[in-house]
Structure 1
């Protein structure tokens, strides 16, 4: 099986796709589009030359909530690439309490394994389901032992039962037995939880591979009976049969290649591991230690995982940070050199908020309208109401803390609180949100001195 299928999108097409979900920030979109296209170009080169071309890693600079994470996440989804988001501030230098920096590579490989497994599973789904139905039929209509020959007096009975099974098979496939309850044997595995109870906080990540390796070691897997419907049993058996049919060695091999050549790691809050991020005090040695621990992984090294050795040379790293106190030049020079592309994302304006509310495929207003439609309520927003919501979001960000587009989530929840609460009682009605409705709900809160208490 070949590596997961992916379209060779043009940089312009990549930006157009990102425009459907993220408002503005064209410089950042252009940078990631070029980075993605360069990957496609590299994979077409002779192997010797391709090995020499490393990704042009990117640092995104901008306040929270302006689209940094969303750009990286949507890019990975578009590229059908394994994606992991980690916060640099969660890491500490090896030897201190905290997360081992190599854990992000192990996380990336796990994501790749899941992606490849899902692809294999889709290909064998039909075959696995047929075997699952056979197992259900064995419970509902057990097949008799096959006689040695057709002369055996038991043969007519055997033939009738086989024909009956075939007839009933069609009924099972058509869902006529979906609600019938049957007893299914499931494996019950022991888990050495005591090991993990000793481990505290973030260091538990270091024992994830150990957990998988020791699961069931102290006590062999047991079986227990569980009652479920035929429909549930078919789904359960389909999953079991698919697991048996998948060649995990091939999955591992392909997943490692996928992670190495197409993986994207989003390294958030990178500004918080600079020495200046503490404002001149704090454990600067630890922060610089984190940078030095990250350096070999970003430069290109090998990381052992339970699935095999992973090379990090061609993984794309996208770092991000607000850089309010620190600046990219406060990172150690070696790390700066591994992020040659720097793009600035801008704070959101009132017009940006209007667009965020209405234009993207997953726009907030569209989400709330869809939610209310499930209860037969038509939720209508007038143009002036949307502009007023955007204005209040901008004011709240300006007067408290700038949290970008996330401000809209809290404002919309407060604005629609009563409508959402009364939803079932409003069935069959049209609810119109106009400017007056927005002002009545939000004006008093926005004008309060302790506004942060109400909209955080």
Structure 2
């Protein structure tokens, strides 16, 4: 058979009609069909990975690492699952059927600091093996001003995807402290709002889904590197913020009375949690977020304040609980670390007063364990260290149990 007569066994195109043809003894395949096969295999792999993580499966996995926040977990599980179903439909060319178009659903996590917002997202990204870039809105400014511009978020995602444009275009960008870019009040006279409304405007194009050019900045001679084009249409944006005081805005709108002084703290927490579930875009506008920005973030996920019971549970139940981490550290010195139930409760109570959520737990426990971690390696024959309520509340030393070493006992 003459070379010009060779046809692709799949599409029947002749050698002259395609870029390349790979020939075999009886079968030939062209360059276009090779690429099509690669896309089909990639799509099937992607579909199988997403299908194995249905919302209930995602929810149960998040439960292993994050305490409470069941409503938030359900929101996230469903939103992420739907997002990646949408990606698959786009690959198949079925994202638009008739007049129905599957649009992207960016997410806003709303709740106090230390309630698990960041941990939930990090856990999701690891489980789904998705490129993840995290940014802090407090560092962002308008282009041309001191600070990072919004394109730096895409650069971080590009690096997290191993400089693979296709992977980056299916990743997740998390922007924390998003409430810090609320615009200033109309009475402000302190100059241009370069870290508020200007940043919101700068993020609009990225959130909506446009092709954005970034300049790779890693490696020698990067200034002369060609720009990289990334389509943000399929990038899921997860925004996170405490929005301190937005409950008061909601309260004025719905006309409920605030819980006064002298009532139990638990009731105040319940009221704030309920108000957070009623938040609307109009409340964010009053807070300082512009309508165009909020219009691109259709899913609002409320997080609850953590109670003392929640904090107590967080201390010892999750897979990576703080008490388990310290127990592992002391195990290297052949010492068993024990926290009594009243000690756990006392630690949680102290952390709750700090109003830092779960982050306060580490501050309290670090303070308690400092002397223990300092002294124990120099002490001999210590086999057990018991932390009780007196250690936490009254600053008393922990109870140490000793046991003769086997060598000493034989003398």
If the length of structure 2 is used for normalisation, what is the TM-score?
0.67
CA–CA separation in structure 2 for the residues paired with 1:279 and 1:366: 51
Give 5+ residue unaligned stretches, structure 2.
1-37, 217-226, 247-282, 397-411
Report what 1:103 is aligned to.
Answer: 152
Give 5+ residue unaligned stretches, structure 1.
114-251, 443-456
CA pair 335-103 structure 1, distance change in 2 beyond 3 A: same
| 2:300 pairs with 1:256 | no
Report what 1:41 is aligned to.
Answer: 85
SS in 2 for 1:45: helix
Q: Confirm or deny: 8 A CA contact 1:54 1:314 kept in the other structure.
A: no
Which of 367, 372, 377 aligns to 1:424? It is 377
CA–CA separation in structure 2 for the residues paired with 1:79 and 1:274: 32
If the length of structure 1 is used for normalisation, what is the TM-score?
0.61
CA–CA separation in structure 1 for the residues paired with 2:317 and 2:54: 23
Report what 1:316 is aligned to.
Answer: 236
SS in 1 for 2:67: coil
Q: Confirm or deny: 8 A CA contact 1:88 1:269 kept in the other structure.
A: yes
Q: Confirm or deny: 8 A CA contact 1:65 1:406 kept in the other structure.
A: yes
How far apart are residue 437 of structure 1 and its match?
A: 2.0
SS in 2 for 1:54: coil
SS in 2 for 1:285: coil
Q: Confirm or deny: 8 A CA contact 2:142 2:199 kept in the other structure.
A: yes
| 2:4 pairs with 1:50 | no
Q: Confirm or deny: 8 A CA contact 2:314 2:321 kept in the other structure.
A: yes
CA–CA separation in structure 2 for the residues paired with 1:279 and 1:322: 24
How far apart are residue 266 of structure 1 and its match?
A: 0.8
The ranges of structure 1 where at least 4 consecutive aligned residues each deviate by more than 6 angstroms after the TM superposition are none
Report what 1:304 is aligned to.
Answer: 213
Report what 2:64 is aligned to.
Answer: 20
Higher relative contact order (CA 8 A, sep 6+): 1
| 2:339 pairs with 1:381 | yes
SS in 2 for 1:295: helix
CA displacement, residues 121-147 of structure 1 (integer Å, 9 cap, x when unaligned):
xxxxxxxxxxxxxxxxxxxxxxxxxxx
Root mean square deviation of aligned Cα: 2.4
Report what 1:79 is aligned to.
Answer: 128
CA pair 313-44 structure 1, distance change in 2 beyond 3 A: closer
CA pair 277-59 structure 1, distance change in 2 beyond 3 A: farther
Report what 2:284 is aligned to.
Answer: 328
